Amino acid sequence: MKQEEKNFEQGQFTLTMIPGSFARKMRTCILWQAFRFAVINIKMLVVVSKSH
Amino acid sequence: MARLIVMGGGVSGHTTATFAKKWLGKDHEVVVVTPNSQWNWIPSNIWVGVGQMTKEEVVFPLAPVYEKAGIDYRQAKAVSIHPDGKEGDDTPYITIEYTSSDKAGQTEEVTYDYLVNATGPKLNFDATPGLGNGEGQMGSHTVSVCTADHATHANEELQKIFDKAKAGEKQKILVGTGHGMCTCQGAAFEYIFNIEHEAKKAGVRDMIEIKWISNESFLGDFGMGGLHMKVGGYVVSSKLFAESLFAERDVPWLIGAHVNKVENGKAHYELLDGTMGVEEFDFAMLIPPFAGVGLKAYAKDGSDMTDKIIAPNGFMKVDADYTPKPYEEWKASDWPRTYQNPDYPNMFAAGIAFAPPHLISKPMQSVNGTPINPTPPRTGMPAGIIGKAVAYTICDMIKDPNAKPHEASMAEMGAACVASAGKGLTTGTAAAMTVYPVVPDFEKYPGTGRDTDYTFGEIGLAGHWIKHILHHMFIWKAKLKPAWTLIPE
């Protein structure tokens, strides 16, 4: 059974979503996360500047 | 020469005091009254709670910082406010009781021209029998991550659980809120997933059942009524976002719960449908509800006038609309803008210390009439922004008492939140989120209450890097190191 399928055996989790192996890998892929780091920081700076 | 007293040296109070002193210079006095000798970067306490940071990494002594800034620092707790002075002297003052070792117990009257209440929360453990020790402190059945010392103790207990798991004994961990009216679900959220992450690293995840219990009517409420955010191009409810992480990490949840009693290894609760239950545990971290610190206020003739300036929950009344009204009539404009007390314009409350007009989340009660709903979070970025706005206002008022106060409504400001889901330079993750505005405005943003162009969320290593960088950045800022004013709140 795939890891993302396993937890759907639990009734409470049936109606939610669980990331598959690619999505999980991208969470800690250094190159991709370095790009996301830049994007998230820009988004946060925009919200911070709107709030001050 | 004017004197500003700031009661409290946390995120909000420290921000107010340091900016005020910077702008006022030597011409005026800034006094900080706080019972603590150290400043604590609270968002990192969860890492202390799992042994990924030490207490020394999240605290630093206040005295040298305030001395460098020219701030008069009194290690004392504020006890009472006398906004009209006393018989024969109209000068307003507060009474304080020293907590420093050299003056412990000594009381003093300190006069002021401007007063800021930034005293933060009283950790009201005793609101739930068994959660507290009956004397205002945390009890022995559960742990806490609300302070650095609590978090250090929490980690010590957690490691015992891991040792038992390694020895082959199945363990049960329960994390969440310890009362139906708690806030700070975010801290519990971070702690549960950091425990899960550490359990995996230790190779004992399959020996440990981890469960969530909270007063939210749906996962992802976070005390803000939930939010709708952009995730991967979709506008997603925080309910789905949160449930996904819980499901992914195999952490079942029990929500809509008011924990009404804690015993050794047991948390008794009531649900919204009136069901009573018990969750057993080997280790539990349950956030206590917050209350005001218990400040009293007295009139000139010595009569008690606490009710005039302090709300029943112990937080200070400010320029909010406190008119009781049903949920359907709540408006963004109910929330305060200047944080001035309406009766005393030289008195302010910042951060957690101000009394919110009502909840943000939809009020809920069980069929037995028990209120079970999160109270509003007022920490982090909003607390700092409010503190700075109050400092601005006071500095302007010192020059011109009729100066227009600066505004910082939580219905017009956003927040950037980073919720750690596990620490590790290459293996950690965190949910990086922005929400704009913090308090939803359904008139301006029908449907979601927030601007989805500026409300987003994402889980990944980048979020973890951001949280770790923020740890260092905000401690740098709080220590008033070079260019500290360039770091936004």
- The mean pLDDT value for B65-83 works out to 97
CA distance A19 to chain B (A): 7
Most B CBs within 10 A among A4, A32, A47, hence the mutation to make, goes to: A47
Give chain B positions within 8 Å (CB) of A28.
426-427, 429, 460-461
Task: Examine the pLDDT at B71 and tell me if it is beyond 90.
Answer: yes
Task: Examine the pLDDT at B221 and tell me if it is beyond 80.
Answer: yes
Position B368 scores a pLDDT of 96
Q: Which residues contact B328 (CB under 8 A, 6 or more apart)?
A: none
Q: Where do the structural domains in chain A lie, given as residue ranges?
A: 3-51
Residue of B nearest to A43 (CA): B454
Between CA B484 and CA B202 the distance in angstroms is: 38
Of B345, B362, B361, B302, nearest in space to B89 by CA: B302
pLDDT tens digits along A13-45 = 888 999 999 999 999 999 999 999 999 999 999
Q: Where do the structural domains in chain B lie, given as residue ranges?
A: 3-123+290-399
First vs last C-alpha separation in chain B: 28
Closest CB from B248, B385, B413 relative to A7: B248
pLDDT tens digits along B421-464 = 999 999 999 999 999 999 999 999 998 999 999 999 999 999 99
Position B202 scores a pLDDT of 97
CA distance A2 to chain B (A): 12
Position A4 scores a pLDDT of 79
pLDDT tens digits along B285-299 = 999 999 999 999 999
CA distance A36 to chain B (A): 6
pLDDT tens digits along B339-372 = 999 999 999 999 999 999 999 999 999 999 999 9
Give chain B positions within 8 Å (CB) of A1.
none
Position B104 scores a pLDDT of 94
Exposure string of B375-392, with b = 16+ CB inside 10 Å and e = fewer, is: bbbbbbbbbbbbbbbbbb
What are the backbone dihedrals phi and psi of residue B75, each rounded to the nearest 5 degrees, phi first? -80, 90
Position B112 scores a pLDDT of 98
Q: Is B238 on the interface with A (CB under 8 A)?
A: no
% of chain B surpassing 90 pLDDT: 97
Each as own residue / partner, the long-range contacts of residues B434-438 (CB below 8 Å, 24 or more positions apart, any chain) are: B434/A43, B434/A44, B434/A47, B434/B229, B435/B224, B435/B227, B435/B229, B436/A47, B436/A50, B436/A51, B437/B332, B437/B409, B437/B410, B437/B411, B437/B412, B437/B413, B438/B224, B438/B382, B438/B410, B438/B411, B438/B413, B438/B414
Task: Examine the pLDDT at A12 and tell me if it is beyond 90.
Answer: no
Give chain B positions within 8 Å (CB) of A48.
381, 414, 416, 488
Position A50 scores a pLDDT of 87
Position A11 scores a pLDDT of 80
% of chain B surpassing 70 pLDDT: 100
Burial class from Cβ neighbours inside 10 Å (0-12, 13-18, 19+) for residue B129 reads middle
Position B243 scores a pLDDT of 96
Residue of A nearest to B381 (CA): A48
Q: Is A31 on the interface with B (CB under 8 A)?
A: no
Closest CB from A30, A34, A44 relative to B434: A44
pTM here is 0.95
The model's confidence at residue B122, banded by pLDDT at 50, 70 and 90, is very high
Task: Examine the pLDDT at A10 and tell me if it is beyond 80.
Answer: no
The model's confidence at residue B375, banded by pLDDT at 50, 70 and 90, is very high
ipTM over 0.95: no
- The mean pLDDT value for B39-63 works out to 97
Fold of the CATH domain B3-123+290-399: FAD/NAD(P)-binding domain (3.50.50)
Q: Is A12 on the interface with B (CB under 8 A)?
A: yes
The string of DSSP codes covering B54-114 is: -GGGTEEEHHHHHHHHT-EEEEEEEEEEETT-BTTB---EEEEEE-STTTTT-EEEEE-SE
- The mean pLDDT value for B122-137 works out to 96
